[in-house]
Amino acid sequence: MVVLNFIINEIFGQGAIFLALIAMIGLLLQKKQFSEVVRGTMMTAIGFFVLSQGTGIITGNSIDGLAAAFNTMMPAANGKPDIDMSVYGTQIGIVMLIAFAFNLLFARFTKWKSVFLTGHMLYWFPYVFIAAGVDAGLTGGKLIGLATIFTAAYMVISPNLMRPLVKEVTGDDSFTIGHPTTVLSLISGYLGKVIGNKEKSTEDIKFPKSLGFLREVSITGSIVICITYIVMFFILKANGLVPGEVWGYAGGKTGIFTFIFTKAIYFGVGVTIMLLGVRMLIAEIVPAFKGIAVKVVPGAIPALDCPVIFNCAPNALIIGFIVAMITSTITIILTAGMFPTVIIPLTFTCFFEIGCASIIGNATGGIRGCIVGAALSGIIMVFLVGFGSYFFGNTINNWMLVYGGQDFSLWGIVEGAIARLLH
């Protein structure tokens, strides 16, 4: 049990350590010199932490205020508290290890060659599937068995479905995406092929000379977030709320100007750091993984976190985020009372999962593919969270109101329905 907990918590549970270990094994298999092994291992870990810090700044220092505002205006969304999933830690860990081993075997002996390396998602998918099983009343072997089947299936199916779309974005086939954006990205990507024109990319948008600074995604993103907070300020006022109390600056030395300016600039800082981390991580993990692809799993490619393609189309990322926030908010208003929970706009899903889907929609259908893909994804996200509340209402419903609306919800609904038949 001690060894199992060490593997689960200290290796699989730590994205930097897990990816650094993968890089080290890959470099050793290529018989690289000691200095190259050390450098590649350390730079992979550093790149991961830089990427994580960037995403952390975006979610924790910038768009977190938008989520707080929506939560305040819709307090019923909080409902009853989630159960303590830590009591299922051992089951989650067992599912994670068995599923990853199956992923390696499947990649070794079949034509689907992706290896799921998104560290935190290796944990969160078993977490979601165990929660869906518990909500349906499963225990013991049935609970672990069903969650393992779904986790292993996801690790194999999802990255391989994403592979041709990621190739459309990057122009090469060196990696794919292992992240719960898949259902939204598939819809956006293949819809873009039908309705769009990939020659008219969001990244080719012409700005007048006087607005040339808008080509910098960190600046554009900061301006967008600034405008969004200004609009949210007036929405809070219109709802009889005090923005200073909602956002926590009331009674302090600073006011709304400093608050909004800081949130906006933090977004630019986060994007800048995140994209730097992406470049560092890709530059190290992809070449290092070749050792595993040659010696252990012939032809394998890594399935990585969705921000690894954000630097390919940063304009699409920002456009998709804005469009998804608008369409999801409208959908929430129109569907009020339809589901057993009050839904709030999922700012994190709009930025990461739908941002990724927008980049893919742009790659296959240009500006139109990006916008329509993001708009439709924003609508689908709300319905997935709403219907998902029937299958997570007794376990992690509040968690899903923040982090659901994509593969977590879709696959969780399917697994939950099957779990009810097995109970």
- pLDDT at residue 412 is higher than 80: yes
Q: Report strand pairing: 176-177 vs 114-116.
A: unpaired
Q: Which pair of tokens denotes residue 256?
A: 């709304």
| H or E segment to which residue 186 belongs | helix 182-195
pLDDT of residue 378: 97
> Of the segments 71-85, 248-262, 284-298, 380-394, which one has the largest average pLDDT value?
380-394
For residue 203, CA distances in Å to 110, 154, 186, 190, 423 come to: 37, 32, 21, 19, 51
Question: Under DSSP, is residue 31 helix (H, G, I), strand (E, B) or coil?
Answer: coil
Amino acid code (one letter) for 39: R
- Angle at which helices 140-170 and 407-422 pack, to 10 degrees? 150
Partners of residue 302 on adjacent β-strands: 115
Question: 209 Cβ partners below 8 Å, 6+ apart?
Answer: none
In which band, very low, low, confident or very high, does the pLDDT at 294 lie, cut at 50, 70 and 90? confident
How many domains does the chain contain in total? Answer: 1
Question: 361 Cβ partners below 8 Å, 6+ apart?
Answer: 188, 189, 191, 192, 196, 316, 320, 369, 370, 371, 372, 373, 374
Buried b (16+ CB within 10 A) or exposed e, 48-62: bbbbbbbbebbbebb
CA–CA separation, 419 and 423 (whole Å): 6
Are 313 and 165 within 8 A, CB to CB? no
Range of the domain at 238: 1-422
Q: What is the pLDDT of residues 50-92, one digit of tens each?
A: 999 999 999 889 988 888 888 787 765 556 778 988 899 889 9
Q: Which pair of tokens denotes residue 228?
A: 């969004």
pLDDT of residue 216: 80
pLDDT of residue 75: 60
Compute the radius of gyration of the chain from its Cα atoms. 21
Are 388 and 400 within 8 A, CB to CB? yes
Amino acid code (one letter) for 164: P
* C-alpha atoms less than 13 angstroms from C-alpha of 372 in its C-beta half-sphere: 20
- pLDDT at residue 360 is higher than 70: yes
pLDDT of residue 81: 79
In which band, very low, low, confident or very high, does the pLDDT at 384 lie, cut at 50, 70 and 90? very high
